[in-house]
Amino acid sequence: MPELPEVETVRRDLDGRLRAHRVMVVKWLDPRMVRGRTGAEAIVTRLAGQTTRGVGRRGKFLLWRFQSGDCLILHLGMSGRIQAGVSPGEARVPHTHLVVRLDDGTELRLSDPRRFGRVEMVPRGQRQPLALGPEPLSRTFTANRLQTLLAGRRAPVKGLLLDQRILAGVGNIYADEALFQAGIHPARPGGSLLPREVGRLHRALRRVLRAGLLHRGTTFRSFQDGFGEPGGHAPHLKAYGRRGEPCRRCGTAMSSSVVAGRTSYFCSACQPSPAKFEPEGEEDRATL
Active-site residues: which are they? 2-3, 60, 262
Nearest CA to 34 among 75, 64, 80, 85?
75
Gap between the Cα atoms of 264 and 187, Å rounded: 9
Q: How many other β-carbons are positioned within 10 Å of the β-carbon of residue 14? A: 24
Gap between the Cα atoms of 164 and 209, Å rounded: 15
Q: Is 238 left (phi over 0), alpha (psi -120 to 50) or beta?
A: alpha
Q: Work out whether strand 61-66 and strand 52-58 pair parallel, antiparallel, or are unpaired.
A: antiparallel
Helix/strand/coil for 192: helix
